[in-house]
């Protein structure tokens, strides 16, 4: 297994190109199953998750070509069964269910199972499919959805933590080919849902309200080929902005959408970090001593849960007490014990982590556990004095395109090594 070896203490300087959004690309890739015509998707990040989704689509019978960030997919013939050994490796693959149900009127997908940050149930996805007329059966770790016909209806998709991103995506995709009008209330408002809706509309779907809590879809008989460019990855942009602040550097994020990052920019500004917009770029630099701030993760347009761990790494450096409350996932503090190994002083109280910041961090070997926790450990290692080895960085490669290459271009002393 590979590790990152990081010699900390170097302020980051220069420009970094933000890749296409993983969390927009995955449902958009799944949406190509809704038509038998070829689709072209550009600005797709080359990650283990996107390569994996390409494998899953091919296993369903689609022709898939992935070259230099451009995907060409044609699901001419299709089987409606996705194998457990494929689906269990990436929870995000549950978003093939909606298109399979919409196109074939049946889908058999293995229950994705939980992951290290939480149980990750799909009850709201299934509630939406059933509302459209699907019969749902769960047996032997698989979920079967079959529908003689799919009829549009009004449904409420809010759950224990508010809206569901992939639940909204799944049901919206099925509804594009249902008879009549579907209204999704308490829909997710994330930019990735808006990007998926844009792709579906390019395919001929009739959708309004994407980005708001109420999305209306009027079913059509058939969808056709489309071309689309995926939005920039707001979580990657936030990760690099925080790395610049943590190392007291100054960087430019090329092709970053400030309008997708308002809550993150607001919190960084409160922490005494300057984030200035220049067209499609963002200039980030620390304005002196960091200030402690309180952060609560919420559905969009609140502070994104996918930036919680990275923000915690930064706030270990801010003198004073910062309280970070995780309202989306029940177990997203895996990074706390690893940050403590670098000298951070953090106490967990239920859904909150109390960060006593201001002491410098010192390098140590640490273990990555999930995608964003790993990013937090890299940020902490870049800021720490001495050497940090972040092990099991396959977690990072799932969601960050060439993170070490991009960081080296910004002056970081980081290299990929075989874990000893
Ligand atoms: C998407 O996951 C993202 N993944 C996650 O990013 C992100 O953290 C999450 O949205 C929240 O923003 C992709 O887009 C591939 P949810 P998703 O359904 O859609 C509960 C990353 O690091 N819930 O919005 O699976 C659920 O337990 C990943 O890139 C139900 O109760 O998340 C959670 O508490 C991690 N029932 C909350 O809703 C359901 O049927 C939000 O989950 C579905 C969800």
Out of 115-129, 271-285, 373-387, pick the least confident: 115-129
Query: Tens digit of pLDDT for each residue in 136-149?
Result: 999 988 899 999 99
pLDDT higher than threshold 90 for residue 323: yes
Q: What's the token pair of residue 194?
A: 């808006």
pLDDT higher than threshold 80 for residue 80: no
What integer pLDDT is reported at residue 22 of this predicted model? 97
What integer pLDDT is reported at residue 296 of this predicted model? 98
Q: Give 419's pLDDT tier (boundaries 50, 70, 90).
A: confident
List the one residue out of 207, 203, 204 whose CA is nearest residue 218: 207
Q: Burial of 85 by CB count in 10 Å (0-12 exposed, 13-18 middle, 19+ buried)? A: exposed
Query: Tens digit of pLDDT for each residue in 364-379?
Result: 999 998 899 999 999 9
List residues near ligand 1 (CB under 6 A).
23, 26, 92, 118-125, 159-161, 164-167, 192, 305-306, 328-329, 371-372, 399
Q: Burial of 420 by CB count in 10 Å (0-12 exposed, 13-18 middle, 19+ buried)? A: exposed
**How does the average pLDDT of the chain come out, rounded?**
95
Query: 202 C-alpha vs ligand 1 centroid, how far in Å?
Result: 25
SS3 199: helix
Query: Tens digit of pLDDT for each residue in 26-55?
Result: 999 999 999 999 999 999 999 999 999 999
Cite the active site residues.
Answer: 115
- Distance separating alpha carbons of residues 12 and 414, to the nearest angstrom: 12
> Which residue puts its alpha carbon closest to atom 13 of ligand 1?
23
Q: What is the mean pLDDT of residues 108-122?
A: 82
Domains in the chain (CATH in brackets) are 2-15+233-418 (3.65.10.10), 23-222 (3.65.10.10)
List the one residue out of 150, 25, 50 whose CA is nearest residue 100: 150
- Distance separating alpha carbons of residues 17 and 401, to the nearest angstrom: 10
Tell me the pTM: 0.97
> Which residue puts its alpha carbon closest to atom 16 of ligand 1?
164
pLDDT higher than threshold 80 for residue 273: yes
Q: Give 84's pLDDT tier (boundaries 50, 70, 90).
A: low
Query: 108 C-alpha vs ligand 1 centroid, how far in Å?
Result: 21
């Amino acid at each position: 297994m590979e590790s990152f070896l990081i010699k900390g203490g170097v302020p980051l300087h220069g420009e970094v190109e933000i890749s296409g959004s993983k969390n927009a690309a995955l449902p958009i890739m799944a949406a190509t199953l809704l038509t038998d015509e070829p689709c072209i998707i550009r600005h797709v990040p080359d990650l283990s998750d996107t390569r994996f989704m390409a494998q899953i689509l091919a296993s369903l019978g689609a022709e898939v070509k992935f070259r230099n960030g451009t995907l060409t997919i044609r699901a001419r013939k299709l089987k409606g069964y996705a194998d457990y050994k494929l689906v269990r490796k990436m929870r995000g693959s549950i978003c093939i269910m909606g298109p399979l149900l919409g196109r074939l009127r049946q889908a058999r997908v293995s229950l994705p199972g939980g992951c290290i940050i939480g149980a990750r149930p799909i009850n709201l996805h299934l509630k939406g499919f059933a509302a459209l007329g699907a019969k749902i059966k769960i047996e032997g770790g698989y979920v079967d959805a079959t529908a003689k016909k799919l009829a549009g209806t009004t449904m409420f998709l809010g759950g224990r933590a508010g809206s569901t991103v992939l639940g909204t995506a799944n049901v919206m995709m099925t509804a594009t080919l249902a008879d009549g009008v579907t209204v999704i209330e308490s829909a997710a408002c994330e930019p990735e849902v808006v990007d998926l809706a844009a792709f579906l509309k390019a395919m001929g779907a009739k959708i309004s309200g994407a980005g708001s809590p109420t999305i209306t879809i009027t079913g059509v008989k058939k969808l056709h080929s489309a071309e689309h460019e995926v939005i920039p990855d707001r979580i990657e942009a936030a990760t690099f902005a925080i790395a610049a602040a943590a190392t007291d550097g100054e960087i430019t994020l090329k092709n970053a959408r400030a309008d997708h990052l308002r809550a993150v920019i607001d919190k960084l500004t409160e922490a005494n970090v300057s984030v200035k917009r220049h067209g499609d770029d963002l200039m980030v630099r620390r304005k002196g001593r960091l200030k402690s701030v309180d952060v609560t993760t919420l559905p969009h347009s609140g502070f994104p849960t996918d930036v919680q761990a990275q923000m915690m790494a930064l706030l270990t450096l801010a003198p004073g007490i910062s309280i970070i409350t995780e309202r989306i996932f029940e177990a997203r503090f895996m990074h706390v014990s690893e940050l403590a190994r670098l000298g951070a002083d953090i106490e967990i109280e239920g859904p909150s982590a109390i960060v006593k910041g201001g002491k410098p961090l010192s390098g140590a070997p640490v273990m990555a556990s999930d995608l964003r926790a790993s990013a937090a450990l890299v940020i902490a290692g870049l800021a720490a004095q001495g050497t940090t080895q972040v092990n099991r960085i396959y977690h990072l490669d799932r969601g960050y395109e060439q993170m070490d290459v991009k960081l080296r271009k910004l002056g970081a002393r980081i290299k990929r090594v075989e874990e000893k």
